[in-house]
A and B are shown apart, each in its own frame.
Chain A
Amino acid sequence: METSKANLFWFLLMLIFGFVQNPERQRFIRLGDLARSPREKARLLKFPLAARDLLLRDNLTHIHPSFFFFCSPKATAPSLLVQFRRQNMETLLANCVEKNLTQFMFSNAIFLCERLLAQFPSEVNLQLLARCYLSNSQPYSAYYILKGSKTPESRYLFAFSCFKLDLLGEAESALLSTEQVPGGAAGHYLLGLIYRYAGRKNSSIQQFRMALSCDPLCWEAYAELCSLGAAGDASVVFGNVAAQRLQKTNVSQRINFSEGESRDQLIDSDKASKDTSVWQTEHVSGENQQDLKVKQLGAEILPDSDKQCNGSSHTNGWDLKTPSPVLTQVLDAPPPMLYKNMRRPEVEGLMYVHGESRRKFVSEEESSEAPEESGRRRSARIAARRKIPLFHSYGKDSHVLHHSPSESNGVPSLSSMIGKCRIQSSKEATTSGQSIGDTGSSVDDEQNSNPRGSSPNPFSLMSGISEVLNLLKILGDGHRHLLMYNCQEALLVYQKLSEKQYNTHWVLMQVGKAYVELQDYFNADSVFTLAHQKSPYALEGMDTYSTHLKEEMRLGYLAQELIAVDRLSPESWCASGNYYSLRKDHEAALKMFRRAIQLNDRFTYAHTLCGHELAALEDFEEAEKCYRKALSIDTRHYNAWYGLGMTYLHQEKFEFAQHQFQVALQINPRSSVIMCYFGIALHESKRNDEALKMMEKAIVADARNPLSKYFKANILADLGDYHRALEVLEELKDSAPHESSVHALLGKIYKQVKLYDKAVLNFGSALDLNPSPSDTVKIKACMERLTVPNELETEEDL
């Protein structure tokens, strides 16, 4: 009696309290009504707290932390008084916004989200609005609304908006205001980029390395490290440590996979147990991440599809809700996120079991592009996911989640409505995921698909991880070699790829660049044309292609094609600039390159090409400025160092020229062209021994480069060593018989050594080979004044 009185007292209190708060939200529920089967009912009576999860299953309730149950005196049907919110405006709007985001209806999303935020101001809604703004390329709006937010995800989004607005200082402080950088790998990557843009090389290297350790699949971080020249060996970076890391983060997903699959099996096999399995998955989704590990235990038992087992496993899972060892392990490995897709960042350790979390599931599920079809092979999935960001672990939950409303019988109307909403959105998500990452299977109705393959086991996960990492190892190795200008090695590494991977645009671009660096323009041409044919929409690397395409017609056509594809990409304008440059219309080329710079100020190559054009127009000061700008963006862009060296050579500032060429050579130690010019600079500064040594190096470095021999002969002739010079030139004449300058130089030297008939012979052949008009003049003058020694000739002649 006393208990009932106490209950009554509390009941009245709740009633008053509840009415004061929000009259419509209160409701009495009889516990008995919640249960859908006698077994459940029995369980409820035993463990009244379990009612909470039943309410979750119905997708109806937001459970107020305090609930009281009121036991009727007869104790037949204990009722539950809960404060709950029905599926209300907030969640409806949030779902709709998420759906709009996945379908790229940004203005609608923004509108609805603004209504949502106005009605229910909260941190989560604010983040959602910021996401909408960022998706709609309005970083300034996101910046203003997120200013001052403290939660990790908000800080990450705020830092991203600052980054887009070029406010690097604010972005950095936002990311660094707490010890742990928000956003995990993505946060570190963003911070690395910020440091890089600010020129703080070491800090950026550190950040990129941390990003990679958080998420080994953060390829961009590795690429940035390569371009900074600080990349570790790919086999180490994508090695065992990475595999373990990936495994940890994927374990939780795997569990949900298993649940999903096993659940499917259950559905096929036992309709009756559907409810319980559904219940369990609901439970899973409702739970904290901490519990996922626990579910693993339950999951293993599920495939037995034994009702009893299910029941017991549920209870087991339930009882073992928060075992501490599981907690630490799971918290160790937060699921990584790639900021590029603007995922909702995971709230680390701040899981709400309430409406927010539900919205989160929905958002994850709907925004997830990863193929979540439980029926697919996991390794295929994981392999596909290499190109798709690792989805949130909750993605699995939500995927699983959406099945339930449609499948269970007697679902209350409200839940079915929401469920349908989710099904549609998840269908879209999965179809988009399929189109992106599909490795071959297409499923119309994921609900009816049967799980392919056996029930999940750790080995398929490991094999998937190892496949991905092997692929990344090869690519990473090749990329690193290329950016260190070890082109031969890079080519060898890329040959190791499977044909499918090799024939992708990115890899072909890498291979083409390697050939270009080796000055093997013929092979480069074939590779680039192949790549362009395959993916005419892909503009990356087309600037390099256009630079080395020396046929006017083809280059013109390429330039036009690229501009037609995308008028706003710097590569297309670089291509047109190269076209004009080929036609020696340097003014027009300069205009094109300036446009490219306008489109993307950090496009290093456009600055360098600008510099080249200005140098061709003999405006050396401006050229220098352009080269230095290019170098400020990327210190390892050796073309700019080379360009600077050439301008100094033209201006006869030989000391400076030497320095520039030296740096260029440090970056790219195999370029024979740089060595040649370095040699010339040394020679002009009277350091002749070193000059000759450099020329020897150049000859050895690239046997096909005729200029190294030519320059060597020139130096020797200048030094008075005519015989050696003649030797070299005769050799060169054999290998390059059509070059008039060789003959002209031969003639000049023969004249010097007074072998006049040979001199005349060579001058004659030089003239036959159509030299430029000024050279023609020179050669003819030489021929006329054969007997006059060179020193007495006027400045116009040799």
Chain B
Amino acid sequence: MATESSESEEEGKIRGGNDKLIVDDDLREMGKNAAWSVSSCKPGNGVNTLRDENLETYWQSDGLQPHLINIQFQKKVRLQLVALYVDFKLDESYTPSKISVRAGDGFHNLKEVKSVELVKPSGWVSISLSGADPRETFVNTFMLQIAMLSNHLNGRDTHIRQIKVYGPRPNPIPRQPFQFTSTEFITYSTLR
């Protein structure tokens, strides 16, 4: 069951972007355990380009808007952050403008979690999935869908160069309710 924030229509404008992706230490990339798929693609610019760690290659959609990227996990995971690499200077009318992030159990019950508008981004753009409530830091879900609703300059298709999805690190000590914070506890918690 997806936790949706009550203000699901909240809009945020994001300008610019970072060259380097800077993420908190307590987050880890979750994309490896997921199945990635896209609504459409041009041959040669398929879904692999989204995960190849190469910012030169990009995914180009080839159909009707909205263009969708689907990320499906085998079990419910907590997600906190989505990071996209898009560049207006290189892609111009292919750069996405309105993006909606949806979560749910599958294609049938996705609900929007976050909606942002990008203004001439160039670099990494981070979309936080947390709600205002501290209890809603994470989105606990089976599936995430990133929908490109419209592009800059009313372009039809979109280019995305790279995507990363982040969630919290699990407790390194199995079967424990809380994680350790002080160095003393941490030193005694493992043997290397």
Q: Which residues of A contact B (CB under 8 A)?
A: 519, 521, 547-548, 550, 584, 609, 612, 616, 618, 639, 642, 646, 649-650, 652, 671-674, 680, 684, 705-707, 710, 714, 736, 738-741, 744-745, 748, 769-778, 780-781, 784, 796, 798
Contacts and interface: CB of A to CB of B under 8 A. Distances in A.
A705 B135 contact: no
A714 B192 CA distance: 24
A673 B188 contact: yes
Given A519-B187, A639-B192, A778 B178 contact: yes
A672 B189 CA distance: 10
Contacts of A778: 177-178
A707 B134 contact: no
Interface string B148-192: 000000000000000000001110101111111111110111111
29 contacts: A550-B183, A584-B28, A612-B192, A639-B191, A671-B191, A673-B190, A674-B191, A706-B184, A706-B185, A706-B188, A707-B185, A707-B188, A707-B189, A736-B185, A738-B182, A739-B185, A740-B182, A741-B185, A744-B177, A744-B178, A770-B181, A771-B178, A773-B168, A775-B179, A776-B137, A777-B134, A777-B137, A778-B178, A781-B135
A520 to B, nearest CB: 11
Contacts of A777: 134-135, 137-138
Contacts of A745: 177-178
Contacts of B78: 774
B163 to A, nearest CB: 18
B140 interface: yes
Nearest to A642: B191
B42 to A, nearest CB: 30
Contacts of B176: 714, 741
Instruction: State the 5 A-B residue pairs at the shortest beta-carbon distance, nearest first.
Output: A741-B178, A649-B174, A739-B182, A774-B168, A772-B179
A745 B185 CA distance: 14
Contacts of A652: 174
Contacts of B175: 649, 680, 684
Contacts of A521: 187
Nearest to B29: A587
B188 A739 contact: no
Nearest to A664: B191
A798 B178 CA distance: 9
B25 interface: yes
Contacts of B7: none
Contacts of B191: 639, 642, 671, 673-674
Nearest to A671: B191
Nearest to B179: A772
B56 interface: no
Interface string B22-40: 0001101000000000000
B188 A771 contact: no
A612 B189 CA distance: 14
Contacts of B138: 774, 777
Contact of A650 (B174, B177, B182, B185): B174
Interface string B117-129: 0000000000000
A612 B191 CA distance: 10
For the residues of B in contact with A, the DSSP-based class is loop
Given A650-B174, A736-B185, A772-B169, 18 more contacts: A550-B187, A584-B25, A642-B191, A672-B188, A674-B191, A684-B175, A707-B185, A738-B181, A740-B181, A741-B177, A748-B177, A770-B181, A771-B179, A772-B26, A774-B168, A775-B178, A777-B138, A780-B134
A673 B190 CA distance: 7
Contact of A736 (B134, B140, B184, B189): B184
Interface in B80-127: 80
Interface of B: 25-26, 28, 78, 80, 134-135, 137-138, 140, 168-170, 172, 174-185, 187-192
A772 B181 contact: yes
A646 B178 contact: no
Contact of A519 (B135, B182, B188): B188
A646 B172 CA distance: 10
Given A680-B175, A745-B177, A745-B178, A776 B134 contact: yes
A739 B180 contact: yes
Nearest to B178: A741
B129 to A, nearest CB: 12
Nearest to A672: B188
Contact of A769 (B170, B177, B181): B181
Given A609-B192, A777-B138, A796-B140, A741 B187 contact: no
Contacts of A781: 135
B192 A772 contact: no
A671 B138 CA distance: 38
Contacts of A714: 176-177
Contact of B174 (A646, A672, A741): A646
Nearest to B130: A773
A663 B137 CA distance: 42
A547 B187 CA distance: 12
Nearest to A739: B182
Nearest to A605: B192
A769 B140 CA distance: 25
Nearest to A612: B192
B38 to A, nearest CB: 25
Most buried by B among A519, A744, A745, A777: A777
A744 B181 CA distance: 12
A763 to B, nearest CB: 11
B135 A784 contact: yes
B87 to A, nearest CB: 25
A528 to B, nearest CB: 15
Contacts of A769: 181
Nearest to B3: A796
A780 B138 CA distance: 14
A318 B139 CA distance: 99
Given A639-B192, A780-B134, A616 B181 contact: no
B192 to A, nearest CB: 5
A503 B48 CA distance: 57
Nearest to A517: B191
Contacts of B192: 547-548, 609, 612, 639
Contacts of A705: 188
B188 A741 contact: no
A232 B168 CA distance: 51
Q: Which interface residue of A548, A680, A774, A796 has the most chain B CB atoms within 10 A?
A: A774
Given A706-B185, A736-B182, A741-B179, A773 B174 contact: no
A700 to B, nearest CB: 15
